[in-house]
Structure 1
């Protein structure tokens, strides 16, 4: 029986998770994937200039493991730059230190949201905002927290934007999407991206809209319907909304 892989500790997931060469359609591009722990290793070693011993301690791994993560990450970035490929940042075996919500990795126990009971975690303790989850949008049939969620994304009536720290709300009307023959999902993604949200809660998201949201660094919580906006927010705050890594609808919307 193989030994389960240990989750790598990161301070937070990046806001921007997709990069592509300018002027080349997505359909013509090959794609490489950089894991969240690879992104963290690059930040520690190449941006902040930490030594491998210190960086490994911050991530809760051995120096050897950190070196391997860093080498893999550099190779992925080099592939994207040299061969003109799109770069997606997602997935891996990781846990966000100090966050109260699940952040899914592949290994058993990853993404438990319980953090680590050690000195390194005590020093970090990122807030919800540092985990890029302080401002979220919910597809809604109306402007109030007690209005019903709209299960559609691209053709939702509108979006209630909620600041999780203050619970202040803002409503973004999406009525123009109702008359669009196509591209409603991409248009909706641009609307909420301009509002500065980091996550959207909805029912169903098609592949084009999901791709646009990912490119804007916006996480997606889907499969939510039949509840109010307020209930959706509470589920998110309680950690019962799983963030998606793929769309749950084949067509648009």
Structure 2
């Protein structure tokens, strides 16, 4: 359709729809930011309210329904994810998760999970280097937390998300040593969780793949198989 053929009412309706969606975006972002501020403002040693992660996740679900987003909004979502993650790190630095009641320790993990989901929903953000790898890193670290809490289904879910993100990246094109190591660390973490839930076939398959990854990432690294065996040996002694 030529520009001249678009009627004035159609142009006005399109403009109104765009404006309405932008207002909805801002409303939902404002709600998420409010919950993150609550987390940031918690005093050291104060327990995280059980409602914060649920509130953010509910709003995030609503936000995901009005995707795709312009890059400017993606960047805002990305920054909110990092703010929430850093707030979680600050809380962890002042409170030992092992000393918390299980429900409170899980709330910490839920907040990290939501932070990872914020990066995931933002997707590829122009101006952010290696966004997929950073997003995968958040899921990997969150999965490790869930594993420590013995919530293996949630750990597996995080590891699978991270694996999906990294599967789209050619390891040989990654130059940063830390980013390269993430591929191996994730593989080891997945194998540990698979072992815990008695999925021996998957655990062994991941370990075998890890042997190749270890060579590609750094030949001096401890082999994935030995890493897992050492972890299990320590647990048997405890």
Greater strand share, 1 or 2?
A: 1
Greater helix share, 1 or 2?
A: 2
User: Who wins on radius of gyration, i.e. which is larger?
Assistant: 2
Higher relative contact order (CA 8 A, sep 6+): 1
TM-score range normalised by the length of the shorter chain = under 0.3
**TM-score with structure 1 length normalisation?**
0.23
